């Protein structure tokens, strides 16, 4: 299981994004950001994706 703490990604949010793989947790993270933080596709820059990838934890 891979997880990202939304708070560590810079949001005031206690949500934990989960997925089986890095790709899946990133995809779920993008869905969460768009749905719950009103982010748009173009707001999620490659730089931001790199930063968020660095926050992925394995458990």
* Site residues (vs Zn ion, CB under 5 A): 6, 11, 13, 15
Q: How far is the CB of 6 from Zn ion (least distance, A)?
A: 3
Give all strands of the β-sheet with 16-19 in edge-to-edge order: 16-19, 2-5, 57-58
Write the DSSP symbol of residue 16: E
Tell me how far, at minimum, the Cβ of 55 lies from Zn ion, in Å. Answer: 12
Closest distance between Zn ion and the C-beta of residue 20, in Å?
20
**Closer to Zn ion at the Cβ: 13 or 56?**
13
């Amino acid at each position: 299981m891979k997880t990202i703490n939304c708070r560590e990604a810079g949001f005031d949010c206690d949500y934990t994004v989960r997925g089986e793989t890095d790709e899946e947790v990133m995809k779920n993270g993008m869905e969460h950001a768009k749905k719950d933080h009103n982010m748009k596709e173009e707001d999620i820059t490659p730089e931001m994706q790199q930063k968020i990838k660095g926050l992925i934890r394995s458990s």
